[in-house]
Structure 1
Amino acid sequence: MSEKDPLFEKTISSQPIYDGRIIKVKVDEVVLPNGKTAKREIVNHQGAVAVMALTDDNKLLAVRQFRKPLERSIIEIPAGKLERGEEPIECARRELLEETGYTAKVLTLLSSFYTSPGFADEILHLFVATGLTAGEAQPDEDEFVEVLHLSLEEARQLHAAGDIRDAKTVVALFAWEAKMLGFNHV
């Protein structure tokens, strides 16, 4: 975010469009590196976490839930948005418990990444959860999920069939595959 960056786009005006519970939308007018101006539609988001929870018998905890923008149910790893001032690791603990009923002895940050930097500032923190203990799920009142325990092969098949398509779960699936291949970064 430095004006010393030769690709920096200086904001000359900003117009708020929407201020919602999960996102804010604005349109910024910017000066491009060549001196011309352009408009940028921007979604602001507080950030989120996702949890790649692996059981002792090497199963991935996943949830199947309906996603209105897609008009269908998909399979995802547990995830949710950060509350204001909440630490990502605490959010990961909360979301894992709410969506699956499980708690983890160990939560390790695998990576943090921007989900769609072309139009949004959302950063997602991906955790690996191990040492799991089963309990009772505590979903939000507007959240309906089916908890799944997937082997790596089952997850691969669901990905191939189009049932696993969201970025966080695909990243987790590839990280899990890398771990199974002997890469030690997971």
Structure 2
Amino acid sequence: MDRPDPRPARQPDEPHPELAEERLKGESVYQGRLLHIHRDWVRAPDGHEQAFEYTLHPGAAAVIPILEDGRLVMERQWRYAMNRSFLEFPAGKLHSGEDPLRAIQRELIEETGYRAQQWARLGVMHPVIAYSTEAIHLFAARGLTAGPAAREEGECMEIVLLTPEEFFNAVFRGEITDSKTLACGLWLERMQQQKWSVSWISA
């Protein structure tokens, strides 16, 4: 049975509408705790029709927490699907209708115990555009004050403090491969070089 289109609305100022694929009909395949899988029948601009499967994701937010001495607050945690640990910047998924800034403020406190006096919105990244609607909102935070973490049961991680140089060296050595963390690293580098300016707000 056909269902309403669950994807993000197409932007009215889309610069390349001639590349758009037409959704003919669709169905829900699987409803999980986090991910929902949909299958649509799609017509390409050349007339070719095919089935297309993708996941719906509620979205997430990530942050570069910067200490007074310039070190970065990071987390090392186990990622079950990859069966290994990863070094990442703090992040978490959005609750339904939640403002990304409020979400990442909550996640930073819960996961690391740090509270930040100032925040800057950096941008948005789409980590898996081929088969997911996920969007990750990126932030930077400074004026950090340490406190107790309030992690959920089963949320086990190690807090790691790195200088920016140590961070970039870890990226170069292939020790940091998480996509949102690499995207944050680009923002960090450009901010340090004063190539990209950001607006800080107290929140």
Indicate the TM-score class for this superposition, using the shorter chain for normalisation: over 0.9
For the residue of structure 2 that corresponds to 1:40, the secondary structure is: strand
My pick for the range that moved more, 106-115 or 4-13, is 4-13
Instruction: Tell me whether 1:87 sits opposite 2:87 in the alignment.
Output: no
CA displacement at 1:150 relative to structure 2:
0.6
CA displacement at 1:157 relative to structure 2:
2.4
8 Å contact kept, 2:125–2:183: no
TM-score, with length taken from structure 1: 0.94
Instruction: Tell me whether 1:142 sits opposite 2:154 in the alignment.
Output: yes
The corresponding residue for 1:98 is: 110
The amino acid of 1:15's aligned partner reads: E
Runs of 4+ in 1 over 3 A off after TM superposition: none
CA displacement at 1:113 relative to structure 2:
2.0
* Residues 65-124 of structure 1: CA deviation (Å, up to 9, x unaligned): 001111110100000000012110100100100111001111111001212111111111
CA displacement at 1:179 relative to structure 2:
2.0
Identity %: 35
For the residue of structure 2 that corresponds to 1:159, the secondary structure is: helix
Query: Paired residue for 1:22, among 16, 30, 34?
Result: 34
For the residue of structure 2 that corresponds to 1:6, the secondary structure is: helix
The corresponding residue for 1:56 is: 68
Instruction: Tell me whether 1:173 sits opposite 2:185 in the alignment.
Output: yes
TM-score, with length taken from structure 2: 0.87
The corresponding residue for 1:158 is: 170
The corresponding residue for 2:25 is: 13
8 Å contact kept, 2:125–2:180: no
Cα gap change, 1:104 to 1:13, in 2 (>3 Å):
same
